[in-house]
């Protein structure tokens, strides 16, 4: 890792560091975007708070600023470049990692998100995924999080909870995407989603869902509300 020089504007220096890396670290489009953002910050003072990159806290502050700017891929490169995986993580740091992971998933960058999860200690990865579960906006993002959590299950109660989530997600996938947001909060309780569809007289949709999920529903344990 290269030594970090004391600077007055953290994110501008982040971009300077990223732009100085080998071409394998960033694609041409990333480099162009980094230069564009760098110029924007210098001319509009987008980052107003002085930041001195001499401590771990400062490095995390830069990550936060990049995420606030919506520069998710640059934030990911900074995360790896600064080796932020191999440090002791405070609660605020875990929130930032969760935000980075969530932004990647919401943007469909599933491969990058999975690579990040694989590099984290499993207990930490589970903790972070649990923390962002309720904040996932898209069904695809929610599905990726639940699938990872299912792969890390150690208790029967956890397995049942994530199975219910998985069934709820599959139900949402049978609902037109324009309407999925209406039912998104019921993904973890598919029995309530069934009730809501009945109340909305979405009988044909419900029949289609039940046919598609017959195998999954039949494998549920007796204690499940859907069994």
DSSP 7-58: -SBHHHHHHHHHHTS-TTTS-HHHHHHHHHHHHHHHHH----SB---SSHHH
Per-residue pLDDT of the chain (227 residues; tens, 9 = 90+): 333 333 334 555 556 666 565 545 556 566 666 666 655 555 433 333 334 444 555 778 878 888 887 888 888 888 887 888 887 788 888 999 999 999 999 999 999 999 999 999 999 999 999 999 989 999 999 999 999 999 998 888 888 899 889 989 988 988 888 888 888 888 989 888 888 888 887 788 888 888 888 777 776 766 666 65
Q: Is 109 helix (H, G, I), strand (E, B) or coil?
A: coil
Beta bridge partners, 9, equal: 50
Q: Is 102 helix (H, G, I), strand (E, B) or coil?
A: helix
pLDDT of residue 140: 93
The Cα 174–Cα 166 span in angstroms is 13
pLDDT of residue 118: 93
Closest-CA residue to 190 (of 211, 204, 206): 206
pTM equals 0.72
Contact 11, 66 (CB under 8 A): yes
The Cα 23–Cα 25 span in angstroms is 5
- How distant, in Å, are the alpha carbons of 20, 89, 164 from that of 130? 36, 16, 15
């Amino acid at each position: 890792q290269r030594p970090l020089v004391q600077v007055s504007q953290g994110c501008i220096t982040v971009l300077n560091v990223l732009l100085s890396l080998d071409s394998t670290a960033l694609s041409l489009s990333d480099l162009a975007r980094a230069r564009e953002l760098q110029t924007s910050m210098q001319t509009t003072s987008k980052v107003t708070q002085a930041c001195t990159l001499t401590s771990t806290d400062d490095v995390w502050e830069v990550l936060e600023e990049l995420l606030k700017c919506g520069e998710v891929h640059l934030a990911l490169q900074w995360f790896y470049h600064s080796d932020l995986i191999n440090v002791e993580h405070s609660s605020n740091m875990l929130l930032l990692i969760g935000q980075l992971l969530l932004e990647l998933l919401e943007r469909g960058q599933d491969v990058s998100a999975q690579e990040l999860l694989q590099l984290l200690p499993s207990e930490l990865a589970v903790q972070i995924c649990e923390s962002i579960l309720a904040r996932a906006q898209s069904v695809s993002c929610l599905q990726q999080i639940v699938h990872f959590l299912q792969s890390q299950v150690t208790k029967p109660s956890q397995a049942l909870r994530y199975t219910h989530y998985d069934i709820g997600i599959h139900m949402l996938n049978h609902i037109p995407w324009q309407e999925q947001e209406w039912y998104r909060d019921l993904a973890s309780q598919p029995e309530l989603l069934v009730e809501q569809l009945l109340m909305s007289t979405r009988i044909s949709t419900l029949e289609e869902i039940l046919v598609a999920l017959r195998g999954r529903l039949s494998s549920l344990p007796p204690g499940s509300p859907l069994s």
